[in-house]
């Protein structure tokens, strides 16, 4: 996918000095992505759990799309805003669930951003796999350190990491497919 | 819109993405090997003798009960949000009542060594471990 680096518009959608019409459009499109991510997050939260502490992380597809379209800053702000707004709407702000979610999301997005910048030709599946495994690992570290304080908790980590690999791969493939179709329809040029 | 691959349907196109690249498959292989090794190592750490249920509040061990005892018992545990009711019998242990909002802890039923229930809002953690001792007691509360 050769469009990765060449088609990303350099100005971030979050810049504030005299926005042009293109920048305003970028702001609006970024907000649309944010609303979509929050919706996915809330739908996921309302669905019956696939197991304790396990979610497919579908909202991460949007973070991946934003990272590959607009870059690191836009992706980090979107991921943070998504967790905060979702927690506000669900009513879990500053609860243990929120603390676990915000720390895991920030760490996984940060790792995705670092590898996106380090790898010469980053692939969505590679970045998504890394994000998913870091997300679940950080969740365990936070729960163990702040709430449960039992090392035995890590017995549960390998099966959940295995599931994270599956969902990470799937989310990466969905993101790659979506990006390809954005590219096919010329939407990357608009963004 | 011009489809550059007219012979590919949407399904085929997605399957092509799903296969991933060589670097993706290599990363997945490394991750799976690491996860499998750690999983086997953790399983090896667990003793397969008489299963005993250990109940903790943060780092404090509240009580431990042998699971081979066929008598059913319900115990109350004081968590951060209130009392938790735990039912223990020969077929394992499960939480029957908790004041936490999501009740995820109530969906779990544990019986084998290594299985655990964690109620994060109540900061209560339960795990079944194998015991190295000959068990001749019903339970010990601390």
What is the 3-state secondary structure of chain B? CCCCCCCCCHHHHHHHHHHCCHHHHHHHHHHHHHHHHHHHHHHHHCCCCCEEEEEEECCEEEEEEECCCCCCEEEEEECCCCEEEEEEECCEEEEEECCCCCCHHHHCEECCCCCEEEECCCCEEEEEEECCCCCCCCCEEC
Q: What is the pLDDT of residue A32?
A: 93
pLDDT at B142 over 80: no
Backbone angles phi, psi at A50, to 5 degrees: -80, 0
Confidence band of A108 (pLDDT split at 50, 70, 90): very high
pLDDT at B57 over 70: yes
Calculate Rg over the CA atoms of chain A: 17
**What span, in angstroms and rounded, lies between the C-alpha atoms of A142 and A94?**
14
Q: B interface mutation test: which of A139, A147, A156, A160 has the most B CBs within 10 A?
A: A147
Query: Considering chain A, what is the average pLDDT of its residues?
Result: 85
Confidence band of B136 (pLDDT split at 50, 70, 90): low
CATH code of domain A21-190: 1.10.1760.20
**What span, in angstroms and rounded, lies between the C-alpha atoms of B63 and B109?**
18
CB B46 within 8 A of CB B128: no
Q: What are residue A100's DSSP bridge partners?
A: none
Distances (CA, A) of A139 to A48, A59, B35, B39, B105: 19, 16, 16, 18, 16
Distances (CA, A) of B66 to B54, B57, B70, B84: 9, 19, 10, 19
The residue that leads in pLDDT, B134 or B43, is B43
Give mean pLDDT, residues A100-127: 95
Q: Domain residues of chain A, as ranges?
A: 21-190
Picking from B1, B114, B125, the nearest residue to A148 by CB comes out as B125
Q: What is the pLDDT of residue B105?
A: 87
pLDDT at B26 over 90: yes
Q: What angle do CA A59, B27, A115 make, to 5 degrees?
A: 60
Q: Which two tokens stand for residue A41?
A: 């997050």
pLDDT at B38 over 50: yes
pLDDT at A112 over 80: yes
Give mean pLDDT, residues A112-129: 95
Q: What is the pLDDT of residue B137?
A: 56
**What span, in angstroms and rounded, lies between the C-alpha atoms of A134 and A117?**
17
Cβ contact B121–A156 (<8 Å): no
Confidence band of A190 (pLDDT split at 50, 70, 90): very low
Contact B104/A at CB under 8 A: yes
Distances (CA, A) of A41 to A36, A37, B45: 9, 6, 37
pLDDT at A8 over 50: no
pLDDT digits (tens, 9 = 90+) for B79-109: 888 889 999 887 788 999 998 887 888 888 8
Residue of B nearest to A137 (CA): B35
Q: B interface mutation test: which of A51, A52, A131, A143 has the most B CBs within 10 A?
A: A52
Q: How far is B74 from chain A (nearest CA, A)?
A: 22
pLDDT at B135 over 60: no
Q: What are residue B75's DSSP bridge partners?
A: B86
Share of chain B above pLDDT 90, in %: 21
DSSP A85-149: HHHHHHT-TTSHHHHHHHHHHHHHHHHHHHHHHHSSS--HHHHHHHHHHHHHHHHHHHIIIIII-
Give mean pLDDT, residues B112-137: 78
Contact B39/A at CB under 8 A: yes
pLDDT at A74 over 90: yes
Give mean pLDDT, residues A105-130: 95
Q: How far is A65 from chain B (nearest CA, A)?
A: 15
Share of chain A above pLDDT 70, in %: 84
Share of chain A above pLDDT 90, in %: 58
Cβ contact B121–A152 (<8 Å): no
A108-122, B46-60, B106-120, B125-139: lowest mean pLDDT where?
B125-139
Residue of A nearest to B25 (CA): A126
Superfamily of domain B51-141: N-utilization substance G protein NusG, insert domain (2.60.320.10)
Q: How far is A67 from chain B (nearest CA, A)?
A: 18
Q: B interface mutation test: which of A95, A155, A164 has the most B CBs within 10 A?
A: A155
Q: What is the pLDDT of residue A99?
A: 94
Q: What is the pLDDT of residue B107?
A: 85
How would you class B137 by CB atoms within 10 Å of its CB: exposed for 0-12, middle for 13-18, buried for 19 or more? exposed
Q: What is the pLDDT of residue B30?
A: 96
How would you class A12 by CB atoms within 10 Å of its CB: exposed for 0-12, middle for 13-18, buried for 19 or more? middle
Q: What is the pLDDT of residue A14?
A: 55
Share of chain B above pLDDT 70, in %: 81
pLDDT at A163 over 50: yes
The residue that leads in pLDDT, A175 or B11, is A175
């Amino acid at each position: 996918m050769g469009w990765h680096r060449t088609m990303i518009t350099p100005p971030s959608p979050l810049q504030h000095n005299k926005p042009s019409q293109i920048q305003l459009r970028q702001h609006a499109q970024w907000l649309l992505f944010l609303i979509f991510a929050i919706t996915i997050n809330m739908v996921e939260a309302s669905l019956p759990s696939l197991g304790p502490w396990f979610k497919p992380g579908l909202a991460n597809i949007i973070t991946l799309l934003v990272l590959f379209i607009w870059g690191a800053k836009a992706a980090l702000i979107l991921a943070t805003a998504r967790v905060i707004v979702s927690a506000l709407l669900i009513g879990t702000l500053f609860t243990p669930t929120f603390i676990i979610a915000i720390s895991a999301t920030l760490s996984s997005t940060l790792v995705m951003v670092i590898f996106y910048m380090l790898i010469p030709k980053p692939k969505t599946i590679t970045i998504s796999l890394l994000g998913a495994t870091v997300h679940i690992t950080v969740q365990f570290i936070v729960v163990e350190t702040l709430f449960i304080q039992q090392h035995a908790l890590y017995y549960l980590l390998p099966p959940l990491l295995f599931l994270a690999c599956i969902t990470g791969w799937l989310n990466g493939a969905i993101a790659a497919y979506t990006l390809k179709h954005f590219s096919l329809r010329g939407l990357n040029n608009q963004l | 819109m011009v489809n550059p691959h007219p012979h590919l349907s949407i399904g085929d196109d997605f399957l092509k993405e799903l296969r991933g690249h060589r670097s993706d498959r290599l990363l997945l292989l490394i991750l799976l090997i690491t996860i499998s090794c750690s999983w086997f190592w953790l399983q090896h750490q667990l003793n397969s003798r008489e299963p005993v249920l250990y109940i903790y509040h943060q780092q404090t061990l509240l009580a431990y009960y042998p699971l081979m005892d066929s008598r059913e018992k319900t115990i109350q545990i004081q968590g951060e949000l209130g009392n938790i009711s735990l039912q223990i019998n020969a077929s394992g242990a499960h939480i029957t009542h908790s004041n936490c909002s999501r009740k995820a802890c109530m969906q779990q039923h544990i019986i084998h060594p290594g299985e655990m229930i964690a109620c994060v809002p109540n900061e209560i953690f339960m795990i079944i471990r194998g015991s190295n001792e000959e068990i001749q007691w019903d339970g010990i509360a601390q």
